[in-house]
Amino acid sequence: METVRLGAGAGYSGDRIDPAVELARLGKLDYLVFECLAERTIAIAQQNKRTGVSEGYDPLLVERMRAVLPHCVANGVKIVSNMGAANPIAAAIKTKEIARKLRLPGLRIAAISGDDILEHMPGNYRFLESGDPVKVVEDRLVSANAYLGAGPIVEALHEGADIVLTGRAADPSLFLAPLIHGFKWDTSDWRLLGQGTVIGHLLECAGQLTGGYFADPGYKDVPDLAHLGFPFAEVSADGSALFSKVEGSGGCLTRGTCVEQLLYEIQDPSSYITPDVIADFSNVQIEELGRDLVRVTGGAGKPKTDELKVSVGYHDGFVGEGQISYAGPGALERAELAQEVLTERLRSYRLDELRFDLIGVNAIHGQKLSPVASRPYEIRLRAAGRANARETVAMIPREMEALYTNGPAGGGGVSISIRETIAILSTLIPSELPKPTIHFEES
């Protein structure tokens, strides 16, 4: 193949579907890639699968496939996605059913399993964030999913898959795999894998490359943000890539959007560790060739490590929350009085943590960074607290609501919630521990 065109169809589980349809119709793509698994998404999917709330695959799988499949088949576009989440095989079966209903026969759909290592999670591995061994949360574990690399996806494509559905895989690997497959890249050519990882990293958040999460009126203006288009990359066999978006779609693709996304969620740019390579972003060149046309070259790499990252999800109690508004003269004083009253009323409950915010004053950047230049006309008091028992945190919304008749004057618009927390911590395991498998369905 001379070039491979990769489109980004989603940057997270709930992402907008119209831009993906636009790419499938008009992007002249070879592959449409949907990245839909944030750190916590898979733990929630595992929990939903276990409790029978859902099958465990992406909640928008059906809607997305229905919308893009006819265009993908008409235009010869293959699909790669981690929408398999906690149940790739069920996702493949569902996709087969959708394809049959749409009268699209003969599609080969691969499901890649093996990232779920909950049953084999060794308790002596230590969490990267806290240094504690995994066994401290052993009785509360919900999920343990290893970040698989491009390897199994490449194999599925090699075996003729039109659609590949994975569980947890490293985000850039979803994009790197079609490049390895299409160009027959040597998987020990660390420069190519590094450059392919740069391309994947730029695409994996979809609209964040084309002007999403970018607009700052008067400073960084983005045309037609409402109709934001998603990006694609036309990649050559040497790894150089031209990034653009569908003509007429909203947004913009510039040096500025590309540099912001290149370093997004990166720590040391010379050492971005994935299951496939240690990518080096430090000499990446970004050139604007024209309107919404950017060339990216210069990604490099070093040999991969012999470990894989695992996201471990565990039950971490409950969070109770409540909010109330005060407005007009004395709004701040009444909100502060409400906070004092709540602090006193909640004192006797065994909350592990309790936090108050004055929304509009100091809730986001904290006390030190928030200037108190003027008295706010209106203000919203928020209380949030954590405990192991649902009944305990339930006292926060109850006491918040009670401020109507038992608190300062003029409070209104109370909102309350209680949610279960599934916390995520990470650990490293030997690369050979997970045993990926590929299962095929055909429509």
Contact pattern for another protein over residues 220 through 249, marking x by CB under 8 A = x-----------------------------
Cβ-contact 92, 165 below 8 angstroms: yes
Q: Give the binding range for another protein (CB under 8 A) out of 26-34, 334-342, 350-358, 398-406.
A: 350-358
Three-class secondary structure of residue 338 per DSSP: helix
Find the distance separating the first CA and the last CA of the chain, reported in whole Å. Answer: 27
28 in contact with another protein (CB under 8 A): no
366 in contact with another protein (CB under 8 A): yes
**Cβ-based nearer residue to another protein, 68 or 381:** 381
Q: Give the binding range for another protein (CB under 8 A) out of 28-36, 80-88, 419-427, 432-440.
A: 419-427
Judged by CB under 8 A, the chain residues 121 through 140 that form the site for another protein are: 128-130
Q: Is 98 left (phi over 0), alpha (psi -120 to 50) or beta?
A: alpha
Contact pattern for another protein over residues 299 through 338, marking x by CB under 8 A = -----------------x--x-------------------
| C-alpha closest to that of 192 among 204, 208, 176 | 176
389 in contact with another protein (CB under 8 A): no
Q: Could you tell me where the DSSP H helices lie in 288-439?
A: 331-346, 366-369, 390-393, 395-401, 403-406
Distance of alpha carbon 20 from alpha carbon 8, whole angstroms: 7
If binding means CB under 8 A, how many residues of this protein chain bind another protein? 53
364 in contact with another protein (CB under 8 A): yes
E strands, 52-162, where? 78-81, 108-113, 141-146
388 in contact with another protein (CB under 8 A): no
Exposed / middle / buried, residue 135 (Cβ in 10 Å: 0-12, 13-18, 19+): middle
Dmax over CA atoms of the chain, in Å, equals 72
Judged by CB under 8 A, the chain residues 252 through 291 that form the site for another protein are: 256, 259-270, 281-286
Q: Give the binding range for another protein (CB under 8 A) out of 10-18, 23-31, 180-188, 420-428.
A: 420-428
Give residues in contact with another protein (CB under 8 A).
39-40, 128-130, 213-214, 216, 218-220, 256, 259-270, 281-286, 316, 319, 353, 355, 357, 359, 363-369, 382, 384-386, 421-426
